[in-house]
Amino acid sequence: MWVLIALLLLGPRIGRTATMDKPILSLHPPWTTIFKGERVTLRCEGFHPLLLELRPITTLWYLGHLLLPSHKKSIEVQAPGAYRCQTRGAPVSDPIHLSVSNDWLILQVPYAAVFEGESLVIRCRGWYDKVVYKLHYYKDGHVMRYFQASANYTIAQAQASDSGHYQCSGTLRIPVESTPMFSAKVVVTIQELFASPVLRVAPRAEARGRGGVTLRCDTRLHPQKRDTPLQFSFYKYSRPVRRFDWGAEYTVPESETEDLESYWCEAATVTRSVRKRSPWLQLAPRGSFSSSSSITTRAPPAAMSRNPVSKPLSFRKPPSPRSVASTTSASNSSLPGPLASVPSIPTAGPTACAPLTSLGQPVYPSRSNMDLLLQEMQLLKGLLRQVALELREPQTVLGLGETPEMPALDLGMSPATPETTGRA
């Protein structure tokens, strides 16, 4: 007696817990486009209350926002629109969009979502199942397959690249063979089964007691496919360090933790129909563990992602540059003014024409070279002053007896005085 009373009291609570999931709406036959006048069957599969609640089992049907009069688990429909169903205490199901066509050709695609790795079947159908001849299937305007007569176009393991706008064309014998006819275009979208994995370093608290560094291959399944089993494989460059297994973690030995940026992982279904690889491991700017000295802060380039044999680029801190001062040869020491100034500040590197200075030698000139350079600068200064005086007052300059003896300078001028030149 007490057991019966407990069940009567707990029954509604159990029902409310189980009704959290949406009911599943299915279509039979499984095509979203039909000809005008045809009928299809919709079926609502969801939670139904326990009999202990002593309430009638009810299913609600909606066409758009219109409530349909039927309360059965399945109904037959022929009107176009978005259909939904709802069981008592549960949320409304996802919609099924039904299209009705009056064309000679229709392209039929599955009503349910097609995920990566699953089979995709597309059907080109003639008016009330008339045979279609010279049948072509198109994707985004390009011919994909050709059949002599009616046939379905099947992709055994669909991939994301198979998404696009599909269309078909062909001829009908009504009663003689017609000109080519085209169906309306239909959008087909292949759903992603799971996201591309990312290789991360597991926190120390979770990897305690294992030794080395623990890597985790993280990914995310689609909500409708959360029960799909996945396997994981780990690689160092192109060499697998652990082949496909159920574990999503791998522990790198301490002796190999200096080169962690060379690791990547791969996630795949059990049948290997869908396989996705991660980028090279990306580490935190300051490193998330003490045994690593290499820091990587970028994803690998596209070409490197396709070819894991190549080692990923590593942005290491370059050594501090050693500045080398440029030196001037003795033949250039007689340059005037600022051009002959002493290189007191070392430059970032030697000039193109200056000889390289060995890193073991001093970068500044010696004391003797400095004195020689200053003497030559003084001589050059006096020489330039003498030339300027001769050009301004040649007779006064020639009469000076205290003028020190200067080196001969050939300026390309005639020794004759201006008066002599004028008499000539």
pLDDT for res 395: 52
Give the single-character DSSP code of 270: T
User: Which of the four CATH numbers 1.20.58.480, 3.10.580.10, 2.60.40.10, 3.40.470.10 does domain 103-191 have?
Assistant: 2.60.40.10
pLDDT for res 117: 95
One digit per residue, pLDDT tens: the chain, 424 residues?
444 444 444 444 444 444 457 899 999 999 999 999 999 999 998 765 554 455 566 789 999 999 999 889 999 999 999 999 998 778 899 999 999 999 999 999 999 999 999 999 999 999 989 999 999 999 999 999 999 999 999 999 999 999 999 999 999 998 888 899 999 999 999 999 999 999 999 886 554 555 689 999 999 999 989 999 999 999 999 999 999 999 999 999 988 888 898 999 999 999 999 999 999 998 766 444 443 333 333 344 443 444 443 444 443 334 444 443 433 333 444 444 443 344 444 444 444 444 444 444 444 555 667 778 888 888 888 888 888 887 876 555 454 444 444 444 444 444 444 444 443 3
pLDDT for res 175: 84
* Residue 28 main-chain phi, psi, to 5 deg: -140, 120
Domain spans, the chain = 2-100, 103-191, 198-306
Q: Within its chain, how far is the Cα of 78 from the centroid?
A: 45
Exposed (0-12), middle (13-18) or buried (19+): which is 229, by Cβ within 10 Å? exposed
Count of residues for the chain? 424
d(CA 165, CA 180): 19
Residue among 207, 213, 272 at smallest CA distance from 241: 213
Take residue 57 and report the two structure tokens written for it.
């089992």
The CA-CA-CA angle for residues 311, 317, 320, to 5°, reads 135
pLDDT for res 108: 96
pLDDT for res 20: 54
Please give the span between the terminal C-alpha atoms of the chain, in angstroms, as a whole number: 152
Report field, pTM of the whole predicted structure over 0.75: no
* Residue 327 main-chain phi, psi, to 5 deg: -110, 155
For domain 2-100, give the fold: Immunoglobulin-like (2.60.40)
d(CA 227, CA 87): 24
Please, what sign has the CA dihedral across residues 222, 225, 229, 231?
A: negative
Could you tell me which CATH class the domain 198-306 is placed in? Answer: mainly beta
Domains 103-191 and 198-306 share a fold: yes
DSSP string computed for 295-325: ---SPPPHHHHH-TTSPPP--PPPPPP----
